[in-house]
Amino acid sequence: MQLNLTNPLVFFDLETTGINIAKDRIVEISLLKIMPDGTEDSKTRRINPQMHIPEQATAIHGITDDDVKDCPTFKMISKSLVQCIEGCDLAGFNSNKFDIPMLAEEFMRADLDIDLNNRRLIDVQTIFHKMEQRTLIAAYKFYCGKDLENAHQAESDTRATYEVLKAQLDRYPELVNDINELSKLSFSTNNVDFAGRIVYNEKGEEVVNFGRYKGELVKTVLKNDGSYYTWIIQGDFPLNTKQKFTEIYKRVKNEW
């Protein structure tokens, strides 16, 4: 089944130095842009992360320091990347939990405040888990009937994710071939920040989602604990998380 698109949809996958959104960096990005008429455009770039790629990460994706030493930094390609995804919705595998937060963090480090919240985000893994509970390799075998060669290489994973989503639409008649509906289905939590440190409650209020204040309203915590905001800003948190705390802080401080 072909996707029913109103905007271009960019499938993307990241290979990184690790899984810490605040500290780790992208070493490879692959994008597969699907136009509403079904035409495709694929691009893959390796990136110099300006830090050592740990051996544990190399064991997964096969990329070493030598492989990227002459590659551009993320900041060098950031503006062209923004142009590539301009006006596009975004899709990936486990993308809402990892790739989107990591990409947003890299944009902020490059001094580009790109609002990814206004994009429709499709997470094929979330759809898969709600339907079958498997991994990408198993998903590709289950839905497409093929073995995924070169797993954990960004280009292979990106292409496989695209094929899996199309096969999911073929397999499940209850899935609506509509980007709005697929985006809604892709979210398992109602995050305020990409890392999920703040979530919305049933009233649409921002709530702390970690630590000793978990479950409490952010505005109440900021009012009652004068050092909490400073701790967040100075702490080892993603830039996007700090940004959202700052937005709430500025919004509510006049109410105190």
Calculate mean pLDDT across residues 169-180.
94
Q: What's the token pair of residue 240?
A: 């996007």
- Residue 225: its pLDDT value, please? 94
Distance CA 113, CA 109 (A): 9
- Kind of pairing, strands 89-92 and 9-16? parallel
Calculate mean pLDDT across residues 139-167.
92
Q: Are 60 and 24 in contact (CB under 8 A)?
A: no
Distance CA 242, CA 112 (A): 15
Calculate mean pLDDT across residues 44-67.
96
Which stretch of DSSP H or E encloses residue 10? strand 9-16
- Residue 188: its pLDDT value, please? 67
Distance CA 160, CA 137 (A): 9
Whose CA is closest to 11, among 132, 138, 150, 186? 186
- Residue 167: its pLDDT value, please? 96
pLDDT digits (tens, 9 = 90+) for 6-52: 999 999 999 999 999 999 999 999 999 999 999 999 999 999 999 99
- Residue 190: its pLDDT value, please? 86
pLDDT digits (tens, 9 = 90+) for 185-212: 887 678 999 899 999 999 999 999 999 9
φ, ψ dihedrals at 195, nearest 5°: -80, -10
- Residue 133: its pLDDT value, please? 58
Q: What's the token pair of residue 195?
A: 């890392």
Distance CA 176, CA 182 (A): 7
Question: Is the model's pLDDT at 255 over the cut of 80?
Answer: no
- Residue 254: its pLDDT value, please? 77
Distance CA 181, CA 106 (A): 28
Whose CA is closest to 164, among 248, 92, 245, 242? 92
> What integer best gives the mean pLDDT of the chain?
93
pLDDT digits (tens, 9 = 90+) for 92-145: 999 999 999 999 999 999 999 888 878 899 999 999 888 875 689 988 998 999
- Residue 132: its pLDDT value, please? 74
Q: Are 205 and 221 in contact (CB under 8 A)?
A: no
CA-CA distances (angstroms) from residue 13 to 46, 102, 157?
Answer: 12, 11, 7
- Residue 117: its pLDDT value, please? 76
pTM > 0.75: yes or no: no
Distance CA 195, CA 97 (A): 7
